[in-house]
């Protein structure tokens, strides 16, 4: 088997192993403790800590929900529905970026249609009293538990598939089982010719579940209190605007690191199948039984600033992709873009050229787009006010993730573009926050 392209550990080997093993073992525990604290311990970390102190390991085993038949049923029906939409809904043919071995994957861009059909179906099922979304909330712990085990098995399947039946030449082994399992082996695994597994895990299961759960939390609060608080409305609206933006721009997402560089393994797939539905949605989960009344003025203020952040984040991505799509023949903030023509060599030895944008958002810092991403998350969390820390866990996690991602991306680009990346760093010296970092 060929050596995995781009299987590089950007941190020291010891730190890499430590972080991989601790993530593999701690993340599942964290997801369950997060759910327990939000739903059964008033969102209070102290209350959960006291419980665990008093009851020890047995206490933890007692709160771990067993995956029930209803949890599996919900997951399978939802997964099958999303897979069917992915396969059957019409969409434009879109080509992804050229892979390190020179392949160009082809996708069907039907994400927005799938998003629309999913939300309309889900809300209609509730409206016409065919299925009550509160059932999902009431079985959330069991669903997370089932997802934890099911996704682990799914990642083993990806590992075996990478070894015995890779879908393309963009596959390889690092020679180390843990690294292969954790970082993945295949870049574009598929079932058959058309069913792209990463589009399913990252977009249609993971990101879609974010919107579905945001609506679920809203409905649960309504059923509990007979009304939806303005804090919940701001939270749900901002999260839905964010996810709508994601599906609007889904074909653009297929050009990003997640799809074009990160291979299908535990890190990305387990993250999208378990971490997104639990941790990413957690501010809404908290608000279900903590309805805060913000008042019209403050609610509107948070909503507007949050939408502005989501828009700026979208515009950064749009600017980069428009610039690449038009080969630099576009206007950036009303002017011709300033750019660097960077050549690089593919793993097959071909010399290629990429354009690096050095004006607009991309002239402020090399990863400025992470600033509005983090701020948007802050603004959909802040309706929870500051009684508890846990709703802010996602913001803290996202900040660490994106700072690490900026480093991983910089390292990758430095080794890809060499002196041209150095030139870019001289022209745009800040990594994320202009003037500071």
**Residues contributing to the site for ligand NDP (CB under 6 A):** 256-258, 313, 317, 320, 324, 354, 356-357, 362, 369-370, 373, 398, 401, 405, 409, 413, 416
Integer angstrom CA distances of residue 66 from 69, 205, 274, 387, 403: 10, 22, 16, 30, 35
User: Measured from the CB atom, is 298 or 312 closer to ligand NDP?
Assistant: 312
* Cα–Cα distance measured from residue 246 to residue 310, given in angstroms and rounded to the nearest whole number: 10
Residue with Cβ nearer ligand NDP (181 or 380)? 380
User: Would you state the structure tokens that stand for residue 297, as one six-digit string?
Assistant: 């003025």
SS3 3: strand
Residues 6 or more apart whose Cβ sits within 8 Å of residue 31: 144, 148, 274, 275, 278, 279
When the beta carbons of 234 and 356 are compared against ligand NDP, the nearer one is 356
Q: Where are the beta strands (DSSP E) in 274-346?
A: 339-345
CB of residue 409 vs ligand NDP: minimum separation in angstroms? 5
Q: Give the contacts of 83 (CB within 8 A, at least 6 positions apart).
A: 195, 200, 204
Provide, rounded to whole angstroms, the least separation between the CB of residue 412 and ligand NDP: 6
Q: What is the DSSP string of 71-134?
A: HHHHHHHHHHHHHHHHHHS--EEEE-PPPTTS---EEEE-HHHHHHHHHHHHHHHHHTTSS-TH
Considering beta carbons, is residue 169 or 256 the nearer one to ligand NDP? 256
- Minimal distance in Å, beta carbon 351 to ligand NDP? 15
Closest-by-Cβ residue to ligand NDP is 256
- Nearer residue to ligand NDP within complex by CB, 126 or 246: 246
CB contact set of 221 (below 8 Å; sequence gap of 6+): 228, 229, 232, 287, 288, 289, 291
Q: How far is the CB of 123 from ligand NDP (least distance, A)?
A: 24
Rounded to whole angstroms, the Cα distance separating 109 from 97 reads 14
Residue 263: C-alpha distances to residues 53, 161, 309, 324 (Å):
40, 13, 29, 23
Paired tokens of 428? 């745009």
Nearer to ligand NDP (CB atom), residue 208 or residue 413: 413
CB of 122 to ligand NDP, least distance (A): 22
For 353-383, what is the HEC assignment? EEEEECCCHHHHCCCCCHHHHHHHHHHHHHH
Nearer to ligand NDP, 163 or 261 (CB): 261
Tokens at residue 81, please?
């529905």
Give how far the C-alpha of residue 275 lies from the chain's centroid of Cα atoms, to the nearest Å: 8
- What is the smallest separation between the CB atom of 204 and ligand NDP, expressed in angstroms? 16
User: 163 or 412, CB closer to ligand NDP?
Assistant: 412
Q: In the complex, what is the shortest distance from the CB of residue 370 to ligand NDP, in angstroms, rounded to a whole number?
A: 5
Residue 241 or 398: the one with the smaller Cβ distance to ligand NDP is: 398
Pick the closest to residue 277 from 145, 112, 111, 120 (CA basis).
145
CB of 227 to ligand NDP, least distance (A): 30
C-alpha distances in Å from residue 11, one per residue of 87, 404, 408: 38, 10, 9
- Which residue's CB is nearer to ligand NDP, number 147 or number 357? 357
Instruction: Report the nearest approach of ligand NDP to the CB of residue 307 (Å).
Output: 15
* Angle made by CA atoms 137, 375, 285, in degrees to the nearest 5: 10
- Strand (E) or helix (H) holding 351: strand 351-357
CB of 354 vs ligand NDP, minimal distance in Å:
5
């Amino acid at each position: 088997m060929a050596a995995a392209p781009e299987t590089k550990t950007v941190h020291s080997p010891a730190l890499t192993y430590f972080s991989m093993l601790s993530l593999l073992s701690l993340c599942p525990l964290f997801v369950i403790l997060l759910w327990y604290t939000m739903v059964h311990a008033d969102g209070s970390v102290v209350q959960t800590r006291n419980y665990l102190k008093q009851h020890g390991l047995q206490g933890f085993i007692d709160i771990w929900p067993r995956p029930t038949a209803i949890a599996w049923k919900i997951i399978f029906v939802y997964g099958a529905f999303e897979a069917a939409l992915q396969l059957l809904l019409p969409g434009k043919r879109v080509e992804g970026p050229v892979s390190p071995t020179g392949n160009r994957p082809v996708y069907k861009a039907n994400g927005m249609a799938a998003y629309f059909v999913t939300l309309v179906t889900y809300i209609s099922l509730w409206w016409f009293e065919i299925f009550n979304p509160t059932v999902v909330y009431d079985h959330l712990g069991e669903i997370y538990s089932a997802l934890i085990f099911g996704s682990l098995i799914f990642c083993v399947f990806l590992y075996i598939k990478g070894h015995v039946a890779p879908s393309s030449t963009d596959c390889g082994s690092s020679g180390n089982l843990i690294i292969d399992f954790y970082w993945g082996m295949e870049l574009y695994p598929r079932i058959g010719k058309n069913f792209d597994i990463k589009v399913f895990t990252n977009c249609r299961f993971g990101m879609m579940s974010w919107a579905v759960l945001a609506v679920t939390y809203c409905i649960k609060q309504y059923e509990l209190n007979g009304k939806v608080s303005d804090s919940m409305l701001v939270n749900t609206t901002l999260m839905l605007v964010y996810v709508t933006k994601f599906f609007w721009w889904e074909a653009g997402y297929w050009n990003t690191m997640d799809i074009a560089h990160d291979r299908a393994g535990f890190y990305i797939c387990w993250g999208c199948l378990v971490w997104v539905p639990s941790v990413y949605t957690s501010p809404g989960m908290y608000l279900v039984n903590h309805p805060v009344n913000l008042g019209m003025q403050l609610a509107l203020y948070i909503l507007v600033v949050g939408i502005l952040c989501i828009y700026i984040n979208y515009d950064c991505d749009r600017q980069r992709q428009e610039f690449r799509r038009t080969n630099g023949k576009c206007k950036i903030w009303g002017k011709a873009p300033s750019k660097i023509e960077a050549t690089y060599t593919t793993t097959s030895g071909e010399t290629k050229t990429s354009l690096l944008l050095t004006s607009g958002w991309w002239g402020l810092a090399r990863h400025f787009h992470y600033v509005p991403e983090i701020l948007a998350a802050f603004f959909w969390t802040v309706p929870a006010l500051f009684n508890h820390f846990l709703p802010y866990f996602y913001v803290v996690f996202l900040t660490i993730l994106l700072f690490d991602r900026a480093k991983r991306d910089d390292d990758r680009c430095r080794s890809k573009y060499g002196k041209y990346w150095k030139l870019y760093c001289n022209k745009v010296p800040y990594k994320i926050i202009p003037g500071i970092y």
